[in-house]
Amino acid sequence: MKKSAIVVVLSVLVVVLAIWAVSGLFSGRPVKDPAPDPVVEKISGAKLIAEEKPRGRNVGENSGMRKSRRNGKDAKTVVRHVRQVEDPYTPEERKLADTLQDASDENSLGSVRKAVVAIMRQENPELKIEAINALGFYGKDSLKDLMAFLKDSSREVIDAATDRIALSLEELGEDESDFKVEFISTLLSIDGLCGKDAVERFVGQMEALGAGNAKVVVPALVSLIDGKDAGDFVKAKAKEAYKFVTGEEYTTFEAAEKWYTAKAAEEESAKQVESDGGDESGESSSGDGNSDDDSERDDGDEPAGAGN
């Protein structure tokens, strides 16, 4: 009997304790977090440190730039630092490039020429190309200066000079056709001055001019073909251009002279016909005017005759 009573009492106590525990769980009391796992805490801390590091290739450089901003340094200081790192020129070349830029800003061809002379003694192709571009701004007036770069040892420089010369010639108007032909002829007559690409390009420009100015282009081509100074490649290309302009193969100087004389006579005849046509129309209008005057005088005389 006593054992049964003890069991009942213990059961009641267990139920009471269970109720008390459940009511305490939902009563809003804070529940303590479990103790953190040391391994997890270590990994999380490493991630936070990694995220706080500045991005970029060189953490030291970024930190230094932020520090300079915090110290109130001018932004130009940072730009100048980057320029010094990336500048393709040596200090001497940079000085020459700045001098060239100053001369260009002043729009002084004389000052640009002085800077270019000093630059041509350097070996850096980029600096020479910068000089070529500065000269190209002056078009026709700087063509002879650009010719000097065609002798350069760098292929990049030669190509840049060729492009600039060709572009300057293309920019000339139709009234400058004679000058253009004369300049190209002089350029090509110097043996070894122009490479094959340049020769083809300049001869092509002469061909384009030949359609409307054959009297100037054909003699220039003949002078290259029969001249002693032009190279074999120039002579061959000049013959091709001669055929393109005249429609005939080049054979001899006498045959070319005969074609030229016939062409000149043909053009002169066409001008004469055009001139005569203008005179005839003028005379016709003049005759009509006289007949009108005569008819007006006749009309005016009739009433007088009738009155008599």
Residues of the chain above pLDDT 70, percent: 63
Cβ atoms within 10 Å of 133's Cβ, excluding its own: 13
Per residue in 31-71, pLDDT (tens digit) is 455 555 554 454 455 444 444 444 444 444 444 444 444 44
Taking residues 16-28, report their average pLDDT: 58
Contact 259, 211 (CB under 8 A): no
Is pLDDT above 50 for 304?
A: no
At position 22, the amino acid (one-letter code) is V
Taking residues 257-262, report their average pLDDT: 88
DSSP 8-state assignment for residue 134: H
Per the prediction, the chain carries an average pLDDT of 76
| 258-262, 279-283, 302-306: range with lowest mean pLDDT | 302-306
The pLDDT assigned to 62 comes to: 45
Is pLDDT above 60 for 193?
A: yes
The pLDDT assigned to 121 comes to: 92
3-state secondary structure 111-177: HHHHHHHHHCCCCCHHHHHHHHHHHHCCHHHHHHHHHHHHHCCCHHHHHHHHHHHHHHHHCCCHHHH
| 97-101, 244-248, 266-270, 278-282: range with lowest mean pLDDT | 278-282
Per residue in 271-286, pLDDT (tens digit) is 777 777 655 555 544 4
The residue ranges of every structural domain in the chain are 88-171, 175-282
The pLDDT assigned to 212 comes to: 76
Measure CA of the first residue to CA of the last residue in the chain; give whole Å: 184
Q: How far apart are CA 225 and CA 239, in angstroms?
A: 7
Q: How far apart are CA 4 and CA 180, in angstroms?
A: 131
- Per-residue pLDDT band for 227 (boundaries 50, 70, 90) equals confident
The pLDDT assigned to 182 comes to: 93
Is pLDDT above 90 for 92?
A: yes
* 132 CB-near residues (< 8 Å, 6+ apart): 146, 149, 157, 160, 161, 164
Q: How far apart are CA 242 and CA 219, in angstroms?
A: 10
The pLDDT assigned to 215 comes to: 85
Cβ atoms within 10 Å of 112's Cβ, excluding its own: 24
Is pLDDT above 60 for 184?
A: yes
Is pLDDT above 90 for 143?
A: yes
Taking residues 127-144, report their average pLDDT: 95
The alpha carbon of 162 is separated from its chain's Cα centroid by a whole number of angstroms, namely 14
Per residue in 164-181, pLDDT (tens digit) is 999 999 999 988 999 999
Q: 252 in helix, strand or coil? A: coil
- Give the pTM: 0.60
